[in-house]
Amino acid sequence: MENDQPLKSLGRRLAAAALALALAGGMAGQKQSKKQLKDQRQNVRTEMKKTRRQLDETTRTARLSAERLKELTRQVSEHRQMIDGLNRDLAAIDRRIATANADLRRLEKRLGERKQQYAHLVCTLYERCTAHNKWIFLLSSDNFARFIRRLRYLHEYASWQKQQALAIVDRQKEIDEKRAALAAVRGEKADLLEVRATELSRLKDAETEQRTGVRRLEARQTDLTRDLARQQQQAEALDRRIEQLATEEMAAAARAKNAEQTARKNRRKPDAPARQDRKLSDDFAANRGRLPFPLDGRYKVVESFGRHRHKRWTYVRTTNNGIDIRTSKGTDARAVYTGTVTRVFVLPGYNYNVIIRHGRYLTVYGNLGRVYVKVGDRVATRQSIGRIYSDVENRDETVLHFQLWREKRKLNPLVWLD
């Protein structure tokens, strides 16, 4: 939940700045202006909340699409590797087929030459092996032993030629079978390559489609972010205007107080309440760094005091006039020091707010769902003043906004809290 605060905190900045309106009493001539500013602020808060929902949804959708695109890219890469492997196998097979074809051509050439030689010998033997020539070849022998050798020679030579012819034919048949087998393997590989190429084409189409969708979503996200920045500028402009009105009211109140004090001084010594306020202020200041946190139980400061860079959109800078403290549902806000309740009011979109005066110091407790005190009540240190609001639309998120002022100067609460 720590990362769900960005836009909600922007809205709180609008409301927090408006708390300054209640710090020093009202001026009748500015009531209508403040009402209009509050209405404008609420409209901006509503638009920013809507923009945040749209932006979060668009961001989630873009992230899912980007993950899907990454998965598709990984699949395409794997299929490309597979196809590269098939191409290497095909190249090896092509080399084997080329070698086999070269061997076959060489054997066929030798076979042709041997066939010619065989045909020539057959013809020669045929001529010699006629009854007349055969007997002449045999009977021309010097002796009977030579006669037998010549007869055996004729039979063996004829048999050898037949064997050679059969061997060449068998070799040719073997090579033909090998070439057919290689051609079949090459055909299978080619078919597989075609299938993979088709699948790769489909994956590329899907990748292109996904990339187009992501670009469209990113463009939408850019538009929403631009709208958010514009709304932030409007919110800051409202903050400046509200603080200007608050400063004017405080200055008027201070002038009235000075006039009253001057009149009293002319008549008599400062009254007891004035002395008490000074003492309370001095006591409050003496507890700097030791004030209890404005709530019980577990908590986490989710946004600190002052101007800082936005957690999600680094180009956006926000200003917090106090601190935002996240806690659990059902937690009460409590006074950090003894004082008097001077304001209890409802801020549109920001629920109940309580201001407690501690002499010249003021503490502000914002975003309360229920209030236990009323204007004029005297409260003690650690006394519960109201139940912190839980946002049911945001998983019961419970955040207290706390501010600390010294007259009209904003102070960093974390410096004063223990």
pLDDT tens figures, 343-382:
888 876 568 889 898 888 889 898 899 999 999 999 999 9
Question: Rounded to an integer, what distance in angstroms lies between the CA atom of residue 302 and that of residue 256?
Answer: 39
Task: pLDDT band for 153, please (50, 70, 90 cuts).
Answer: confident
DSSP-derived secondary structure letter, 385: E
Residue 23 has a pLDDT of: 47
Least Cα distance to 97 among 191, 173, 185 occurs for 185
Higher pLDDT, 253 or 145: 145
Tokens (6 digits) for 232 = 């932030």
CA-to-CA distance for 326 and 401, rounded, in angstroms?
Answer: 9
pLDDT tens figures, 167-199 = 777 777 877 777 787 777 778 777 777 877 776
Q: Rounded to whole angstroms, how far apart are CA atoms 310 and 317?
A: 5
The CATH topology of domain 272-418 is Glucose Permease (Domain IIA) (2.70.70)
Residue 3: pLDDT band with limits 50, 70, 90: very low
At 140, is the secondary structure helix, strand, or coil? coil
Q: pLDDT digits over 393-407, tens only? A: 888 899 998 989 887
Domain 1-268 adopts which CATH fold?
Answer: Helix Hairpins (1.10.287)
Whole-number pLDDT of residue 263: 76
The confidence score (pLDDT) of residue 333 equals: 96
Looking at residue 24, its pLDDT comes to 43
Whether the CB-CB separation of 352 and 371 falls below 8 Å is answered with yes
- Position 301 confidence tier, pLDDT thresholds 50, 70, 90: very high
Name which residue leads in pLDDT, 16 or 212: 212
Tell me the per-residue pLDDT of 13-71, one tens digit each, with 9 for 90 and over. Answer: 545 554 444 444 444 344 445 566 556 666 666 666 666 666 666 656 656 566 666 67
Domain ranges in the chain are 1-268, 272-418
Which runs of consecutive H residues, i.e. helices, occur in 129-143? 131-139
Contact criterion met (CB below 8 Å) for 237 and 113: no
